[in-house]
């Protein structure tokens, strides 16, 4: 994986970008399609065929919906054909073994599991396809007349693996005419390097601590070490996922395109409602627009609203993985959001911002325990360690050792998870642009050099969200 990452970052990507900028505008999409297919072939070549077949189906169904625009029955048939096939592919690859194992548990049968590898980015790809066909059906976007352009959209390698979820309406004009400029290239490179630094320098290093704690014995863990582990995991998953999103958004800028933002300093939130407006923004907006609002949203009474929230959060949990812990994780947030709508937000408004922030961070850290372990027994054991249950010591030498050993990277992670650095830099830029430009250049060169050294030294870990 280390070698593959270095080859991609320092050989494949520069060559692809060079070709992309050299060729005439009418061939740029061809370069992107070729690069995307090579990228996916690198991971698992046999799934390219599925991606191409689904792209053809989306394109044909979109065209047929437009052709039969005045025939509601035929329009609906092509809509559900496309939705049905996309969801069938997703369910087969992602949930087949989960369903079989639960059937075996309930009935006592011994149906053999399929053990089918999950295609890279299948969840993100499916949601993009569904957003396109639903928007065409609703008439909010026109169907893409060029299969060439649509294939570019559905295979966009910068973000199809781990987001952000890019809707067709966001990039439809840019599929035809891209805003390629030196300013966009500069902005994109800076964003890409920020994402690379987040992943390689922070997520990987703080993740090393979580890896030690995760694989340890929870029954012997101190409460101090348990909370240190949860802080480490919270930082790892944030910098891992937001780092990838930054890299994808940066590459899009370089290509002359714009993707939606996916994170907005979620750990500064003062409620869970605010947290989900800042965390994985494109997923939240997708479920809002394609599930919550069509179910009725908050328009049909509070009981219906509660049902709709629980449906959305059940699906949000299941989207993240075929395991009960993800479903519990989603419902956990769903229940808290319902309680906030009922009373908690009113109570929080009467409290100071410090209490509000502590409330949100506590509940977020608790959620990561549920998210981190697919084994429900491990979740129970970890909670006992967190709250000094059983014979758990509050503090021991092991907990103090790991806390002091990783205190530096934890503090760095906390610092960069807050908007402190961006505010300080904005003040510097307003006061002295020359010094700010010099500092910026040094900052990004430093990220590149340190990230390269880290990759070469075998410190790379796969992105956590690749498995979703």
- Report in angstroms the alpha-carbon separations of 96 from 48, 100, 111, 125: 20, 6, 11, 18
User: Which has more pLDDT, 175 or 246?
Assistant: 246
User: Which has more pLDDT, 26 or 9?
Assistant: 26
State the average pLDDT over residues 308-328: 95
* Chain centroid to CA 78: 30
* Chain centroid to CA 193: 18
State the average pLDDT over residues 130-153: 93
Residues 351 and 395 in one domain: yes
In a domain, 17, yes or no: no
Identify the domain boundary among 130, 150, 178.
178
- Report in angstroms the alpha-carbon separations of 192 from 9, 324, 417: 11, 34, 17
Q: Please state, rounded to an integer, the average pLDDT across all residues of the chain.
A: 89
Between CA 57 and CA 61 the distance in angstroms is 6
- Tokens 């979703």 correspond to what residue? 468
**pLDDT score recorded for residue 2:** 45
pLDDT over 70 at 13, yes or no: yes
In a domain, 15, yes or no: no
Proportion of the chain above pLDDT 70, given as a percent:
94
pLDDT over 60 at 5, yes or no: no
Q: What are the tokens at 16?
A: 């692809």
**pLDDT score recorded for residue 198:** 94
**pLDDT score recorded for residue 466:** 53
State the average pLDDT over residues 191-218: 90
Residues 105 and 244 in one domain: no
Identify the domain boundary among 125, 153, 178.
178
Band (pLDDT 50/70/90 cuts) for residue 440 is confident
> Comparing 35-49, 223-237, 411-425, which segment has the lowest mean pLDDT?
35-49
**pLDDT score recorded for residue 4:** 56
pTM, rounded to two decimals: 0.92
pLDDT over 80 at 299, yes or no: yes
State the average pLDDT over residues 432-444: 84
Proportion of the chain above pLDDT 90, given as a percent:
61
In a domain, 13, yes or no: no
Residues 140 and 188 in one domain: no
Q: What are the tokens at 206?
A: 């703080």
In a domain, 369, yes or no: yes
pLDDT over 70 at 7, yes or no: no
Number of structural domains found in the chain = 2
74 Cβ contact list (under 8 Å, min separation 6): 64, 68
- Report in angstroms the alpha-carbon separations of 223 from 205, 210, 220, 390: 22, 15, 10, 11
Residues 245 and 307 in one domain: yes
pLDDT over 60 at 48, yes or no: yes
Catalytic, 357? Answer no
Identify the domain boundary among 178, 209, 240.
178
pLDDT over 50 at 34, yes or no: yes
Residues 173 and 307 in one domain: no
> Comparing 264-268, 277-281, 306-310, 455-459, which segment has the lowest mean pLDDT?
455-459
Q: Is the CB of residue 161 less than 8 Å from the CB of residue 466?
A: yes
Band (pLDDT 50/70/90 cuts) for residue 423 is confident
Residues 195 and 134 in one domain: no
- Report in angstroms the alpha-carbon separations of 442 from 239, 361, 413, 419, 435: 21, 33, 20, 20, 11
Between CA 244 and CA 199 the distance in angstroms is 7
Q: What is the DSSP string of 44-112?
A: HGGGHHHHHHHHHHHHHHHHHHHHTTT-HHHHHHHHHHHHHHHHHHHHHHHHHHHHHHHHHHHH---PP
pLDDT over 70 at 458, yes or no: no
Residues 155 and 300 in one domain: no
> Comparing 35-39, 167-171, 235-239, which segment has the lowest mean pLDDT?
35-39
pLDDT over 90 at 173, yes or no: no
Between CA 234 and CA 227 the distance in angstroms is 11
State the average pLDDT over residues 14-28: 89
In a domain, 3, yes or no: no
Band (pLDDT 50/70/90 cuts) for residue 51 is confident
User: Which has more pLDDT, 217 or 371?
Assistant: 371
Band (pLDDT 50/70/90 cuts) for residue 463 is low
Task: Tell me the angle at which helices 48-67 and 72-107 cross, rounded to the nearest 10 degrees.
Answer: 140
**pLDDT score recorded for residue 87:** 94
Residues 265 and 363 in one domain: yes
Residues 198 and 314 in one domain: yes
The terminus-to-terminus CA distance of the chain in angstroms comes to 18
Domain that holds residue 78: 22-178
In a domain, 314, yes or no: yes
In a domain, 8, yes or no: no
**pLDDT score recorded for residue 219:** 66
Between CA 278 and CA 390 the distance in angstroms is 36
Residues 411 and 436 in one domain: yes
Residues 256 and 306 in one domain: yes
**pLDDT score recorded for residue 3:** 45
Residues 222 and 364 in one domain: yes
In a domain, 5, yes or no: no
> Comparing 7-21, 128-142, 169-183, which segment has the lowest mean pLDDT?
7-21
Residue 189: name the closest of 197, 199, 177 by CA.
197
Band (pLDDT 50/70/90 cuts) for residue 228 is very high
Query: Tell me: the pLDDT tens digits for 86-133?
Result: 999 999 999 999 999 999 999 988 899 988 888 877 888 899 999 999
Q: Is the CB of residue 29 less than 8 Å from the CB of residue 149?
A: yes
| Half-sphere exposure at residue 50, Cβ-oriented, CA atoms within 13 angstroms | 21
């Amino acid at each position: 994986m280390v070698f593959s990452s270095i080859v991609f970052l320092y050989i494949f990507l520069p060559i692809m970008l060079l070709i992309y900028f050299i060729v005439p505008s009418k061939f740029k999409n061809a370069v992107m399609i070729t690069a995307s297919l090579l990228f996916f072939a690198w991971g698992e070549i046999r799934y390219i065929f599925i991606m191409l077949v689904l792209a053809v189906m989306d394109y044909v169904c979109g065209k047929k919906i437009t052709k039969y625009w005045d025939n509601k029955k035929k329009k609906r048939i092509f809509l559900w054909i496309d939705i049905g096939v996309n969801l069938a592919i997703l369910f087969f690859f992602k949930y087949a073994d989960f369903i079989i194992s639960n059937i075996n548990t309930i009935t006592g049968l011994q149906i053999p599991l399929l053990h089918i590898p999950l295609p890279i980015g299948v969840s993100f790809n499916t949601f993009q396809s569904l957003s396109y066909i639903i928007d065409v059906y609703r008439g909010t976007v026109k169907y893409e007349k060029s299969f060439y352009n649509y294939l570019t959209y559905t295979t966009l390698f910068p973000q199809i693996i781990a987001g952000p979820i890019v809707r067709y309406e966001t990039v439809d004009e840019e599929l035809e005419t891209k805003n390629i400029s030196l300013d966009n290239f500069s902005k994109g490179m800076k964003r890409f390097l920020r994402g690379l630094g987040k992943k390689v320098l922070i997520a990987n290093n703080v993740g090393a601590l979580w890896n030690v704690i995760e694989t340890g014995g929870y029954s012997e863990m101190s409460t101090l070490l348990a909370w240190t582990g949860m802080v480490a995991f919270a930082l790892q998953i944030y910098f891992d996922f937001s780092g990838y999103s930054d890299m994808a958004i940066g590459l899009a800028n370089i290509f002359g395109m714009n993707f939606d933002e996916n994170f907005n300093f979620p750990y500064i939130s003062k409620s869970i409602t605010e947290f989900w407006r800042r965390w994985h923004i494109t997923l939240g907006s997708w479920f809002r627009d394609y599930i919550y609002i069509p179910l009725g949203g908050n328009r049909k009474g509070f009981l219906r609203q509660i049902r709709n929230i629980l449906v959305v959060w059940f699906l949000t949990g299941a989207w993240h993985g075929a395991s009960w812990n993800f479903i519990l994780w989603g419902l956990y947030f769903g229940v808290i959001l319902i309680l906030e709508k009922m009373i908690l937000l009113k109570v929080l408004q009467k409290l100071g911002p410090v209490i509000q922030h502590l409330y949100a961070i506590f509940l977020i850290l608790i959620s990561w325990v549920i998210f981190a372990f697919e084994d429900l027994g491990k979740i129970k054991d970890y909670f006992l360690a967190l709250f000094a249950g059983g014979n758990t010591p509050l503090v021991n030498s092991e907990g103090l050792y790991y806390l002091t050993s990783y205190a530096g990277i934890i503090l760095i992670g906390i610092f960069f998870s807050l908007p402190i650095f961006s505010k300080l830099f904005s003040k510097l830029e307003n006061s002295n642009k020359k010094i700010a430009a010099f500092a910026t250049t040094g900052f990004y060169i430093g990220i590149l050099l340190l990230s390269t050294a880290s990759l070469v030294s075998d410190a790379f870990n796969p992105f956590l969200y690749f498995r979703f």
